[in-house]
Amino acid sequence: MLRSRIAAAGLTVGALLAFGAAAPASAASASEAVTAADAECEIVDASLTWGFKESFRAYIDGSIANGEWTTDGAVSYATPDFTWEPGAGSLDPEADTAELRFSGGIRFTGHGGILDTTFSDPIVRVEADGSAHVVIDVTGTTRDGEQITASGVDFLSGAAESTVDDGQWTLVIAAPILTEDGAEAFPDYPAGAEFDAMTITASLDETCAEALVAAAEARELPTRVGLIAGGATAAAALAVLVVGLVRRRGAQA
């Protein structure tokens, strides 16, 4: 009976150590899958859905501004979102970065034409740390009649989350906030004001989708390996304790 306990403890340790040794091999396989694909994946059919800012739309549409909005170029509107499509760009699975460009704009007018501001040609950049930046051109006049001509404004920033499902890549910026530069170009709101969520979707070819998934798994594996190694160490310590107890009981017998 006591020998069976020792054998079971030894099997547990061996299994954990074997699994821990296999994990780096899995990481290597994932890395090979990433490097097998091109460094960057080209995207040609991206779609950007964004409501801009609900409270601002309500203000424009209300009795105070008594205004409206219109779209231009590759932009459409269906309550409550504006949609830019198609957009184009690239994503790098290994670096975990992306850049998508869209054309067309939204023009907001109100106060008898005093307010006349256009936001056009957004660019969405995703950094390796998971942050996203929305760069956009802002032109026209504010509700105070101030003239604005600002190209390539770092308008919004926020945390980005992406998923891949059956070749469909989805990027969500759930709570983008107005930057200092954004507030300077659009003084109706202070820096830090939250704008509507932004969603980008795009189709990926099979190679790119696999590379993106493999890269994500490769980034997660070091943490998993660390947990496995820690578990193996604890199991080994337990096995030593069991052996000690067995020997002590044997000596007492």
Q: What are phi and psi of 10, to 5 degrees?
A: -65, -40
Give whole-number Cα distances, 119 to 99, 164, 240, in Å.
Answer: 19, 29, 68
Closest to 30 in 3D by CA, of 210, 224, 225 = 210
Cis ω for the linkage preceding 122 (within 30 of 0): no
Q: What integer is the mean pLDDT of 165-174?
A: 94
Q: What are phi and psi of 7, to 5 degrees?
A: -65, -40
Q: What is the pLDDT of residues 213-242, one digit of tens each?
A: 888 788 775 434 444 445 555 555 555 555
pLDDT at 215: 84
| Whole-structure pTM value | 0.73
SS3 label, residue 170: strand
